[in-house]
Amino acid sequence: MPHQTSWDEFRLVKAVADAHSLVGAAELLGVNHSTVFRRLGALEEALGTRLFERSRIGYEPTPAGEEMIALAARMAQDISDFERSVAGRDVKPTGELRVTTNDTFLAYFLARIITGFGAAFPDIRLDLIVANSTLNLSRRDADVAIRATIDPPDTLVGRRIAPILWARYASAEWMQDNPSFDADTAPWVGFGDALSALRPARWIQQNVPSNRIRLRVDTMVGMAHVLSERAGVGLLPCFIGDQTSGLARIGEPLPTFGESIWLLTHSDIRNSARVRAFMDYAGAELNKMKKLLAGE
């Protein structure tokens, strides 16, 4: 009787392909290395063909393995589509809701909204994913995202809350203690590698001589703290700089860099009761903070 391949076996092959190793696949699947080795060997024996070539650089798929990986990817997408479709049919705001945002947004304006929502909707279990990388809502990595973007993907729906304006900031105490303080000649704090792709980082490269940059920081929260400790002049979103004790804004906000704060979900689940409840609640609370978020 021909071997009937199970979904778990497709997942196994996809995990090995994604990780290029048995150890990495074991971590993705939440099992141990020996289990992956045993299951892959049994599958290859049942199919009568090799799915991977073992080489010095890792596990590389054979032509048969590539066919199985492509089918596994399609199956995973179909399952995600089905889960989103089912998730959109609930009528009562209950169950788990996965919300993703970054550490800066959480620290400066979202924590109160998250806790307020939990009190208002006790039957919804919030799973808050704090990540500076962009999670994929189409794969259900999260249900709702609060993120900064210029142009959200077409598959996502939601609302634009406010533009993110940036300005120069420095320690208010430092500026008071130095009457001759001149932002155009003062030392600067630049962005580290993790933030180097930001448009404000490129603005600094174009407008601040490199010999004036005395320090680099790779988080926004870290930037706010070192600036408040008299480290120099730096760029911050106004909603951070204006709320950080000890900081003073220098001049008017810079021309917009194009990014706005968005509240987003996938179109397939926007009518889910728990998603709709969060979108409405968070949207209303964020709208109250528009002036702060826009640096006004």
Least confident span in 22-26, 113-117, 165-169: 22-26
Same domain, 72 and 197: no
Asked, for residue 122, whether it belongs to a domain, the answer is: yes
Full residue range of the structural domain in which residue 204 is found = 166-250
CATH code: domain of residue 139: 3.40.190.10
Same domain, 281 and 215: no
Give just the sign of the alpha carbon dihedral 129, 132, 133, 135: positive
- Please give the average per-residue pLDDT across 149-164, as a whole number: 83
CA 281 – CA 267 distance, rounded (Å): 18
Same domain, 240 and 117: no
Same domain, 144 and 273: yes
Q: How many domains does the chain have?
A: 3
What pLDDT is stored for residue 12 in this prediction? 87
Asked, for residue 294, whether it belongs to a domain, the answer is: no
Give 46-87 pLDDT, tens digit per residue.
888 898 988 877 888 899 889 898 888 888 777 766 665 655
What pLDDT is stored for residue 139 in this prediction? 53
Same domain, 200 and 238: yes
CA 108 – CA 104 distance, rounded (Å): 6
Asked, for residue 27, whether it belongs to a domain, the answer is: yes
What pLDDT is stored for residue 181 in this prediction? 67
Same domain, 123 and 182: no
Tokens of 33: 């290395």
Same domain, 132 and 178: no
What pLDDT is stored for residue 92 in this prediction? 63
CATH code: domain of residue 22: 1.10.10.10
Asked, for residue 271, whether it belongs to a domain, the answer is: yes
Q: Is the pLDDT of residue 168 over 90?
A: yes
Going by C-alpha positions, the residue among 215, 161, 150 that lies closest to residue 188 is 215
Asked, for residue 72, whether it belongs to a domain, the answer is: yes
Asked, for residue 258, whether it belongs to a domain, the answer is: no
Asked, for residue 125, whether it belongs to a domain, the answer is: yes
Q: Is the pLDDT of residue 156 over 60?
A: yes
